[in-house]
Structure 1
Amino acid sequence: MNTEKVAFDIISLAGDAKAELQKALKLAREGKFGETDALLDKASEQLQQAHKLQTQELLTREANGEKLQFNVLISHAQDYLMTTYTLKDVAVEIISLYRLIKKIKFLSIELLIATALFLYILAQNSIKKFSSVLYNINIFLHLIIILKAISMNYKAMRNVYAENIINYNIGNIY
């Protein structure tokens, strides 16, 4: 394969990988992590193909004594491949941070809702019923479990806890 064809193939593969990485970052920002993983995998495959071309068609030939004609196109292909590899490394880290941010936001919202529900229940019921500190903590923890179950869509767990609340009006969970 001539060097110009190799250079164009490397540029094409690296460009496709870059486009996949940019889509993955956009989807991660939107919280669509299942799709981002597929795009990262696709970009990795394209980068591996480009690296294989670079190694087999340029570096190995040069190492075997063949004098390749150096030109700006090959330089551009090498540069584009390496910058796309760097973008991939950065994209993986940014996507990991988006995942962490989503978890933190979710936990904060969950805790806020549980606290609000707990305070509402305390305000609605008599002081006698809620005299025990441990009992109050139990209700609070149950509210967090209910919210976690709802958020994670554990229907069976959600139904059991919801039934307990309906049947025993929060006060008789145990």
Structure 2
Amino acid sequence: MTKRDFFRILIKIFGLYSLVLSIFTVIPQNISNILYQFDIMILLIILASTLISVGLFLILLFKTDFIIDKLKLDKGFDDSQINFGNLTNESILKLAIFIIGGFLIIDYTPSLLFDLVNAFKNKATFSTIEGSSIDYFQIFVSLINIVIGYLFITNYKSISKFLDKKQS
């Protein structure tokens, strides 16, 4: 594997991870602000942050060679090859996608379980866990994140093939 291929993979992994984080954490938190208090400024901030994050993702995913050239990431090394043994570009991407999916599941399962127990307690005893309230929007967001994590884990091969397409 060349240094250029290594940096290409790193940039694409970072782009995918930043997209997942921004779409599934920042946007839902801001949408809950709109649900409780509608303000045009908050709406504009959400739209701007969404467009910036999607734009950054697209640049990181489809313009990786441009980024490597401008930042000169593959210059100044003694050797042009990196030896990872049997690991290929696709296997590194598969591992990274699997790990991102696992992080999504691990990060959101506890909050989903807590919110579900809290909602169940409220239905059964008409009171919530002390110091907390029921947030159905957060239950929905946690459930979506767990499903996305599951889809990442089960479809990591096809996602890695899509991300590993050669630049044109």
Normalising TM by the smaller chain, what interval?
0.3 to 0.5
Larger gyration radius, structure 1 or structure 2: 1
- TM-score computed with the length of structure 2 as normaliser: 0.33
When normalised by structure 1's length, the TM-score is 0.32
Larger fraction in helix? 1
Higher relative contact order (CA 8 A, sep 6+): 2
